[in-house]
Structure 1
Amino acid sequence: MSKLSDDYLFVVAIDFGTTYSGYAFSSRDDFKKDPLKIVANQAWNAGKFVSFGYEAENKYADIVLDGQQNEYFFFQRFKMQLYKNKKKYTIRVKLSLDPDCSKHDASKISKLLSQTSRCIKETFMVPVLERGKEIKKTDIRWVLTVPAIWSDAAKQFMRKSAELAGIPNNQLLIALEPEAASIYCQDLPIEKLQGADKGYCMTEEGTRYMVVDNGGGTSDITIHQKVSKGLKEICRASGGDCGGISVDNSFYQIFVKLLGAPLLTIMKQEDPSAYLDIFRELEAIKRTVDKTNQDYVTMAIPRAFLDKICKKHLHEDFAAVIEASPYKYRMIVRYDKLRMEADLIKNLFKEPSQKIIQLITDALNMLNNKYTDLVSVILLVGGFSDSKIIQDEIKAKFPKKRVIVPEDAGLAVLKGAVLFGHRPEQIVSRIVRYTYGVQYRPRFNSSIHDPARRVVTHGIQRCIDAFDIFVSIDSEVELGSKIRKEFATSREFQEFVSFPVFQTIQQSPKYTDEDSCTHIGTLRLAIPNPSRYFRDLDVEFIFGHTELKVIGYGMQTGRECETALDLI
């Protein structure tokens, strides 16, 4: 990974969301005068990449009606596949509007991400050029946002996809979503922090708070403490797949019980816009319904189309289908509106809210009572945090904590990523999420090693599958912390040295084949000018950044040698 270039005029941040996506930017000059002067834009349209977000949904609906769907790919909620597929990247992607996923290899996802990035690059240039400014590619520092709980492989995958779009490595940063939101809220005035008491100051040194990023796919949690030079993490990042689409999935099951899965598939094929309209209505409801709703919740529905397909396939209209369903007394149709019992909708939030509350509880428990009582604030960000029910459930469960929802909670990550691009050093330290190390063969020691692991290599007894620890889980590492290890070639004219890299949740693993250990990739060091002599190498693992970095050196020369850490 190349050293980040400091020569830039603009920071452009891209947020690939599960539900919503967008990009934002600010100039270096504007940042110095007013950090919050950030332009956010969601107009995506360029070249072969036809459209993105809502525009893509509308476009695809028109394409289906025109019978041209076989000429296009429609990707939906692909981001979650990067979270779910932690080891292998044979990714399952939703094609068209079918709930069943078709198998596609990583290259298709990578192409999708790179095309999107390229689209944004071209779109971003338009308003800049309109201002009469000419900029070069090297004038832009790019930032991609990812959940803090993503694997190192998923982060590297995003980086390589951006590289395919023409974004150089030394102009790209990976930002962790809850960290970006935390940075954004540091710059917000008190009046834009809903739930904050008068006089509360997030920027006061020593202040500790939890960031809960409730997005479409995941809920992502970290805990920060304000220090003189910025923010430090005091608990390793955690989270799970309990974002807003959990509500969508439960709502989908209601319609499965009403119409049946086969008829829903027909609906999506014949008029996808009608299907999309239903779930867009649900998005609005998710933000407005709260625990005080006692009677009914009303949503607009494509009544004419629902009646049409119900009569054709079920031989009765939509209202009659409801009358014959388990929801007879919980739903009623009035013209082009569907009125649903409030408890039916509120119950959709039960499982995700319980999971989010458990994640918050677990994160507080990880503090081992050291800071538990001192973490008095829960900062809710992300689109799903706009839900009144989610807010109310968290407030009820943690009455002694102050729950704060910033203005534009759904844009906190995106705008914070721009700020992170300008000052990546603001996160001064992080907590390591795993124990990292490599597999190696030390000299066999009968008092330490398992006799069954003894082998003889070149007349030397060695232990196979030993875990050489670089850094242990829950260690606090400052930005740019360096850990050096010595390695050596094992044969004459050796051109490279490679080591399998492992991670585990254990504090002190002995062997790489223990149950909790996971092989995450391979470290490869090129040997300059191979010879018959054995060569010593220094490997420097750099921690504290959002990504794992590795640099190799020849001990005899002190020169940096070509190093690759392949995690995909």
Structure 2
Amino acid sequence: MILYENENLKQQKLKDVTGKTLAASEVFSKFIKALKDHLLTQIIEKGKTIKPHEIRWVLTVPTIWTDASKQFMRKCAQQAGIDEEKLVIALEPEAASIFCQYQEDKRASNERSLLNRTGQKYMIIDLGGGTADITIHETLTKSDDKFPLLKELHHAIGDDCGGTQVDNAFMEVLGEILGQKLIKLMKKKQPSAYLELLREFETVKRREIANKNNLRIPLVTINELIEELEEDNIDNKIKVSKYKTQIKRNRETFCIDAELMKSFFKPTIDRIVSLVKDTSKIKAIRDVSLFLLVGGFSECKHVLHALKEALPNKTFIVPEEAGLSVLKGAVIFGHKTGIIGSRFMIYSYGTKVFEPFDPELHEMSRKKKAGGRYICPKIFDFIVMKNDSVPVGTTIKREYVTDEPQQNFMDLDLYKSDSGLTKYIDEEGCYRVCKATIDIPDPSDEQRTVEVEYYFGDTEIRMTAVETDSGKSCKTFWKFI
């Protein structure tokens, strides 16, 4: 979620369980490099002759991530040694949807037959560790390779209500029982024990919630830390806590009762249910009754029960190995990037322009004098509009002219707005999201015209530029903010 919430990703630091910090770009690039190197090693060990430049790499991100977050991940992949031209960004709920369309196992045959029907509409609810992402698809007629194409019916919706919030709720209670001082010391001195405890809870939270839920704890480590801190023993800590009737210890196991276990889930599940219900009320998708649950957190039985109880008239499908559906779907997407036929715009996008002042069109307070005439500056010039359905590969052209002789570059700002009615770039809800610099080839004293081509409808926004008189391509550098 840090990549989703933070505006200054270049300066962002990440903290590990011991409290040490490292630049986010270094963490992600090293992680991607480790995966890349592992794959290349496996290829060599298996005697394959695949070369790195023959591989298309697919990097998955949550749908609700910003353009800046996607660009950040792309740069991390480049730092990891992946060729930019060989890298594809896939949106996680889309990848999961594609996987479910392609399932081949017998158990999935009925599910696939439902999803494969021409005209079938369904909601993909991708429940991960940090986020819940929702995308709505419609199955179109089959393409030439006999597989269906998919159409997005509404722009993606999401929130930060993933499985890690449940983990945090559990650790908060554990800290109340054992003491936050002990938990902090465990993180610092015994991080492997702390992470093993989280992994154990991850296993437990995926099961059906029973009257008694057994959780294995690192008892030896806890006792060592208690001795170091000169604190009361673990059983006495439990007895004096407000959870003494809800948690019991049996050797190296905590027995957690059903109500306490459910309380860990409740805030997160309430937000997920609210998000799904609100999405279901959107006019364009009210008739969608088939819901597809994917992502690691969807494997928690309690989440499925809560959604079924809140939405009894909906059909829920949880594919086999739901936690791997994004990974497997991303592989398919890497081979068939055109399987998603169109996407809805989450925002309006445009540039800043000025126009001759017209009192019938412009606010009087915006009237400015420039070069002997009156103009209206800071006008939001729409390129695409929020909620537009944009076919994949859509290109939109705009022309821009130089301001002075011998101008060798041009700066261009891209803005986004959460409204389809924005008139000016300084209105509330309108933000600058990209700064582009376009090199002008062969500068001259004459005014030069540059044609910029914007690419929308894909998983990322792109742009290219050409100097119109010469037809020469312009080097274009853009940075999302």
- Class of the TM-score when normalised by the shorter of the 2 chains: over 0.9
CA distance in 1, matches of 2:10, 2:65: 13
The residue number in structure 1 matching 2:195 is: 276
Contact 1:235 / 1:363 at 8 angstroms: preserved in 2? no
TM-score (norm: length of structure 2): 0.94
Contact 1:436 / 1:470 at 8 angstroms: preserved in 2? yes
Aligned residues: 475
CA distance in 1, matches of 2:31, 2:189: 28
The residue number in structure 2 matching 1:513 is: 426
Contact 1:81 / 1:92 at 8 angstroms: preserved in 2? no
Alignment counterpart, residue 446 of structure 2, candidates 533, 536, 540: 533
SS in 2 for 1:508: coil
In the TM superposition, residue 555 of structure 1 has moved relative to its aligned partner by 2.3
CA distance in 2, matches of 1:397, 1:417: 31
In the TM superposition, residue 91 of structure 1 has moved relative to its aligned partner by 1.8
Alignment counterpart, residue 152 of structure 1, candidates 67, 85, 104: 67
The residue number in structure 2 matching 1:402 is: 315
1:244 aligns with 2:159: no
Structure 1 segment 294-443 matched on structure 2, within 5 A: 295-313=211-229, 315-366=231-282, 368=283, 370-373=284-287, 375-443=288-356
Contact 1:495 / 1:530 at 8 angstroms: preserved in 2? yes
Change (3 A) 1:427 1:404: same
The superposition leaves residues 381-426 of structure 1 with CA deviations (integer Å, 9 ceiling, x where unpaired) of: 1000000000111111111111000111000000100000000000
CA distance in 2, matches of 1:417, 1:245: 23
Kindly provide the amino acid, as one letter, of the partner of residue 267 in structure 2.
Answer: E
The superposition leaves residues 17-39 of structure 1 with CA deviations (integer Å, 9 ceiling, x where unpaired) of: xxxxxxxxxxxxxxxxxxxxxxx
In the TM superposition, residue 141 of structure 1 has moved relative to its aligned partner by 0.6
The superposition leaves residues 130-182 of structure 1 with CA deviations (integer Å, 9 ceiling, x where unpaired) of: 34332322211111000000000110111111112221121110000000000
Q: Which moved more, 1:469-478 or 1:258-267?
A: 258-267
TM-score (norm: length of structure 1): 0.80
In the TM superposition, residue 125 of structure 1 has moved relative to its aligned partner by 1.8
Contact 1:193 / 1:404 at 8 angstroms: preserved in 2? no
CA distance in 2, matches of 1:189, 1:201: 14
Alignment counterpart, residue 383 of structure 2, candidates 445, 467, 470: 470
1:84 aligns with 2:5: yes
The superposition leaves residues 318-338 of structure 1 with CA deviations (integer Å, 9 ceiling, x where unpaired) of: 001110111111111111111
CA distance in 2, matches of 1:190, 1:394: 26
Contact 1:190 / 1:200 at 8 angstroms: preserved in 2? no
Q: Aligned Cα RMSD in Å?
A: 1.9
In the TM superposition, residue 218 of structure 1 has moved relative to its aligned partner by 0.7
Kindly provide the amino acid, as one letter, of the partner of residue 224 in structure 1.
Answer: H
CA distance in 1, matches of 2:156, 2:350: 20
Q: Which runs of 5+ in 2 are unaligned?
A: 144-148
Q: Which moved more, 1:115-124 or 1:543-552?
A: 115-124
The superposition leaves residues 290-312 of structure 1 with CA deviations (integer Å, 9 ceiling, x where unpaired) of: 3xx2x221111122332343344
CA distance in 2, matches of 1:503, 1:365: 26
The residue number in structure 2 matching 1:117 is: 32
The residue number in structure 2 matching 1:480 is: 393
CA distance in 2, matches of 1:205, 1:84: 38
Contact 1:206 / 1:225 at 8 angstroms: preserved in 2? yes
The residue number in structure 1 matching 2:179 is: 260
Alignment counterpart, residue 205 of structure 2, candidates 286, 303, 306: 286
Contact 2:413 / 2:434 at 8 angstroms: preserved in 1? yes
Alignment counterpart, residue 93 of structure 1, candidates 14, 19, 28: 14
CA distance in 1, matches of 2:13, 2:42: 36
The residue number in structure 1 matching 2:146 is: none
Contact 2:9 / 2:72 at 8 angstroms: preserved in 1? no
CA distance in 2, matches of 1:350, 1:331: 18
The residue number in structure 2 matching 1:452 is: 365
Q: Which runs of 5+ in 1 are unaligned?
A: 1-79
Q: Which moved more, 1:266-275 or 1:415-424?
A: 266-275
Contact 1:219 / 1:243 at 8 angstroms: preserved in 2? yes
Kindly provide the amino acid, as one letter, of the partner of residue 135 in structure 1.
Answer: I
The superposition leaves residues 86-121 of structure 1 with CA deviations (integer Å, 9 ceiling, x where unpaired) of: 4654324123434xx85x5xxx22222222222222
CA distance in 1, matches of 2:13, 2:175: 22
In the TM superposition, residue 461 of structure 1 has moved relative to its aligned partner by 2.5
Contact 1:214 / 1:382 at 8 angstroms: preserved in 2? yes
Alignment counterpart, residue 186 of structure 1, candidates 90, 96, 101: 101
